[in-house]
Chains A and B, each alone.
Chain A
Amino acid sequence: ASLFVSAASASRDAAAGKNNETRGDPAVVTDEDSHHQSNSTAHKKAFPVLSFNYDHVRKPFEISLWILLALLMKLGFHIIPRVSNVVPESCLLIFVGLLVGGIIKAIGEEAPILDSKLFFLYLLPPIILDAGYFLPIRAFTENLGTILMFAVVGTLWNAFFVGGMMYAVCQIKGANLGEVDLLSCLLFGSIISAVDPVAVLAVFEEIHINELLHILVFGESLLNDAVTVVLYHLFEEFSHAGTVTVVDALLGVVCFFVVSLGGILVGAIYGLLGAFTSRFTSHTRVIEPLFVFLYSYMAYLSAEVFHLSGIMSLIACGVMMRPYVEANISHKSYTTMKYFLKMWSSVSETLIFIFLGVSTVAGPHAWNWTFVIFTVILCLISRVLGVVGLTFIINKFRIVKLTKKDQFIVAYGGLRGAIAFSLGFLLTKSEMKHMFLTAIITVIFFTVFVQGMTIRPLVELLAVKKKKENKGSINEEIHTQFLDHLLTGIECICGHYGHHHWKDKLNRFNKAYVKRWLIAGERSTEPQLISFYNKMEMKQAMMMVESGIAPKLPTVVSSVSMSREEQPDDGVSCFTNKHFLRSYSRHDLLIDPFEDTLSEIRFRKQRVEMERRMSHYLTVPANRQETPSVRKVCFESEHQVYTYDDSESPRGPTVQLNLSPPDAVSLLSESPQRPNQSSSHRDKGDGEPRERERAPDEQDEQLKLSRCLSDPGPNKEEEDGGDGSFKS
């Protein structure tokens, strides 16, 4: 009973405190009851059918409410297409945040601020992990030198230029900024100079520019974290101490290397651990995605413990883990992981921008015209100067030079975001802090609103190359590998060890040692080309299942060329369907290839076409020939995909089906007997014996193939689908 009373009184307080809570009748009832209680203890109170206890769930309730609000806003934007085409989502979200902040302030409540701890520990990691895990490694490593130059030298230049110039500005007599000393200015410069990955991602993902520019700006925003961390801590320490010596400066340089390399090392260790763990998860598939998330998060937190660069640690972990984990985990786990990461990072990003808006309304501001205006101008100038100057140097070392257009986009894409705000928020309280925060928010707003909104029309105007469709073409993959080997060979002949040589060495080391340890089973020795091919085949097969063709019609791979009567199987041209190996863009995920109605219609058309052709063929007298092995994909259940080979004996027409899983046969026999097929099957005059019962369409496929390929296959091969079968 006392509990009930206290709950009632607490709820009364809570109800009074929260203006926007509905105060229902139950509260009044409990109120009365408690009075009754205190008056006469002998009087038995009625059992409370309905009671109000908000405090108990307050925190999770509020959090959920915020997230729900954020997601509803996101939903709303995409329903109104006109707005979302002009204004990037980040702007709209900040705007909503401003509105909500305004409303809360109007009510008289205290609005929640983007707490730095909340930001750095909960909101930032999912975004970085999502970006880091799906980082396009090839593009990244090819441009690593350029990216590092921009990230390290560019950020340093920005920090010192803005800091120094702001100090000069503060010396202007009329600006009332006399008390801002050099170190504080430098600290401010270091906060404001870093390009923000969240903002860059949010804006760049919508404009779909070519991969080079995307990776340059994005890579820079990721790698400059080390510089920012070091500079921030350096200047913060110094501004407390008051003076800087040469030793301190040297220690700063050492610190930079420790922070960045240490962060990468921590990340790499966790990544290897994660890869190693995934080797043993074949019996507990359900928790596989969790391992990836947890190891990565631990990497981030561990790096933060030692004040190392958490972002670099997270990226290193994701990059290290990915090839091995993907070889080990099931397809479903991979999908789960991808979607969870996208979901979390999407929520995080939305919340960050909304909170940014709310914090703007809430926080105490100290507006100083001179300071703010000069900050904005100086940031722009330093960015442009930095990019142009660095590109001049970089182009001497690059093969594919950066054009003026590229430079412009890189300079224009230097957006500032919530990291700057949070770092500013962490500053110790002082009058300057408010002024700094105001300036930081202004710069953020300027870059996100002005630059974010105008970058899309500018990209169109300047005709910057857009991202090309990633078709996942097997020809491209073959030739990429071929080129790698060719260029390595030419380098050998030329006699110098260029970067192809080292890349080749790394690959061989990876194949010989690392893969054996980290990848389970026989996939550890699978060459990359074959894994690529299997991945594509599986995606094809799944796509066909989804659009309703297979399992009635097994995917046929080889049937091209050679013979006169032959005609390529158009149904298999779905191999060249786009959207295969999707890039990591969150927005691309929304265009799910499986829901692409156009491709569905095409499949159905092709299927009809294929049936027509097959029936046409089967009336033509067969010319028995030998076929080489034909690979097929067949679905047993949702979980397992087996590949098996059919082969024909050199002597005769009998085809033998060798399947390792006996269950797979049942699927084939389930295929319906189509009337036209079976009749034309009977029409064939050869009457060769069939050794096993099989679905007629599958048999027809066999016959067609055997007629088609004049290539004398090897002797009867009985494979058990051992080569590159992807067991999930």
Chain B
Amino acid sequence: MGASQTRSDHEHQHLTDKTGFSLEQIKNLHKRFQQLSGNEETISKEDLDRIPALANNPIKKQIIGAFFDKRNQHQDEVGSCDEIGFEQFLMVMSHFRPPTLKTTDEEKEAMRKEKLRFLFNMHDTDNDGTITLEEYRKVVEELLSKSGAIGQEAAKAIADAAMLEVASTNVPHMAPDDFYEGITFEHFEQILKGLEMESRMHIRFLDVDTTTMRCGKSTS
């Protein structure tokens, strides 16, 4: 018990530096990881699919896909894996950390870029660096997927309007022969500037053990 404990602690320490979580948080996430993977070393897509609470989520597939997307590992690889280990799991989770009082403005800016990059990767499924109209339509369709037939018909129009908005804000003086290829990352940043991602895109990571708590408000 003692030896493995120090070994995992050592690993966890290495992870705190890499991902920015505290030791407590990593321990809790590790427990959750074990729970999801059935005490294996890796998780597959089916393991995440099985989570009952996710069933009602309209963008379930994209969320699960994001975990297995190599682009979110910050290692300049592309494509997707079939299984991920704990470290990759943590890397993806680290995108959802909130800023602290000590975070400087440059760090906040970097954090915002990172979070926006995560979102961008979720939309840009073919990894060509732009979100095309088709991909954007897919996004809106998935969002409205739980709303039946009404959703699907309106999805196209909404996606088109959104695309147009991006085009006109970012490239206001398009010449008659230009056409708008797709949303690049810079345009994406520009259009979502108002949302202040670094303050919105986060969840509370508990410092308390989650496996023993069935339902409870977060306390961190």
Contacts and interface: CB of A to CB of B under 8 A. Distances in A.
Interface in A632-675: 645
B93 interface: yes
A496 B218 contact: yes
Given A483-B201, A496-B213, A576-B168, A476 B154 contact: no
Task: Output the residue of B32, B51, B147 with the most chain A CB within 10 A.
Answer: B147
Interface in B59-89: 59-60, 63, 67
B48 interface: yes
Given A560-B163, A723-B150, A567 B174 contact: yes
Contacts of A711: 133-134
A407 to B, nearest CB: 13
A401 to B, nearest CB: 5
B194 A471 contact: yes
Interface in B29-80: 29, 32, 35-36, 48, 51, 53-54, 56-60, 63, 67
Contacts of A565: 177
A613 B203 CA distance: 48
A527 B151 contact: yes
Interface residues of B, number: 78
A487 to B, nearest CB: 6
Task: Output the residue of A474, A629, A722 with the most chain B CB within 10 A.
Answer: A474
B217 to A, nearest CB: 7
Contacts of B205: 494
B140 interface: yes
A566 B164 CA distance: 13
A723 B51 contact: no
Contacts of A724: 150, 154
A65 interface: no
A557 interface: yes
B181 interface: yes
A481 B200 CA distance: 12
Interface stretch (A188-196, A298-306, A497-505): A497-505
A567 B176 contact: yes
A526 to B, nearest CB: 7
B157 A468 contact: no
Contacts of B176: 567, 613, 616
Contact of B93 (A482, A490, A536): A490
B151 A530 contact: yes
B181 to A, nearest CB: 7
B158 interface: yes
B149 to A, nearest CB: 8
Task: Output the residue of B35, B161, B175, B200 with the most chain A CB within 10 A.
Answer: B161
A515 B136 CA distance: 29
B192 interface: yes
A696 to B, nearest CB: 20
A482 B59 contact: yes
Contacts of A485: 57-59, 63, 143
B167 A560 contact: yes
B20 interface: no
A559 B164 contact: yes
Nearest to A567: B176
Q: Is the interface of B mostly helix, strand, loop or mixed?
A: helix
Interface in A669-728: 711, 717, 719, 722-724
A461 interface: no
A475 interface: yes
A491 interface: yes
Contact of B144 (A471, A492, A530, A559): A530
A463 interface: no
A527 B119 CA distance: 22
Nearest to B192: A479
B139 A482 contact: yes
A533 B54 contact: no
B210 interface: yes
B56 A508 contact: yes
B98 A399 contact: yes
Given A475-B166, A711-B133, A527 B150 contact: yes
A515 to B, nearest CB: 12
B161 to A, nearest CB: 5
B126 interface: no
A75 interface: no
A492 B199 contact: no
A497 B215 CA distance: 6
Nearest to B220: A397
A157 to B, nearest CB: 24
B175 A481 contact: no
A601 interface: no
A108 interface: no
Contacts of A429: none
B59 A474 contact: no
Contacts of B96: 487, 490
Contacts of A569: 164
A250 interface: no
Given A476-B194, A499-B217, A530 B200 contact: no
A487 B215 CA distance: 17
A395 interface: yes
A558 B156 contact: yes
A125 interface: no
B165 to A, nearest CB: 5
B169 interface: yes
Contacts of B164: 557-560, 568-569, 572-573, 575
Contact of A560 (B101, B133, B148, B199): B133
A491 B194 CA distance: 24
B160 A558 contact: yes
Contacts of A508: 56
A563 interface: yes
A631 interface: yes
A506 B182 CA distance: 36
A497 B203 CA distance: 10
Nearest to B181: A561
B59 A628 contact: no
B54 to A, nearest CB: 5
A84 B131 CA distance: 48
B158 A498 contact: no
B121 interface: no
A537 B96 CA distance: 34
B194 A487 contact: no
Contacts of B206: 496
A290 interface: no
B8 interface: no
A668 to B, nearest CB: 20
Interface in A458-497: 468, 471, 473-476, 478-483, 485-497
A244 interface: no
A569 B160 CA distance: 12
Contacts of B133: 560-562, 711
A395 to B, nearest CB: 7
B153 A719 contact: yes
B125 interface: no
A573 to B, nearest CB: 3
B46 to A, nearest CB: 14
Interface in A523-579: 525-527, 529-530, 533, 536-537, 557-570, 572-573, 575-576
A620 to B, nearest CB: 10
Question: 3 closest pairs, A vs B, by CB?
Answer: A558-B160, A573-B168, A492-B53
Given A400-B99, A567-B176, A629-B153, 10 more contacts: A486-B122, A486-B201, A492-B57, A557-B157, A560-B133, A562-B179, A564-B179, A567-B174, A567-B178, A573-B165
Interface of B: 29, 32, 35-36, 48, 51, 53-54, 56-60, 63, 67, 93, 96, 98-101, 119, 122, 132-134, 139-140, 143-144, 147-148, 150-151, 153-154, 156-158, 160-169, 172, 174-182, 191-192, 194-195, 199-206, 210-211, 213, 215-218
22 contacts: A399-B98, A401-B100, A474-B165, A483-B201, A485-B143, A486-B201, A489-B59, A492-B51, A492-B54, A492-B57, A493-B36, A499-B218, A527-B144, A527-B150, A527-B151, A529-B154, A557-B160, A558-B164, A561-B181, A567-B176, A711-B133, A724-B150
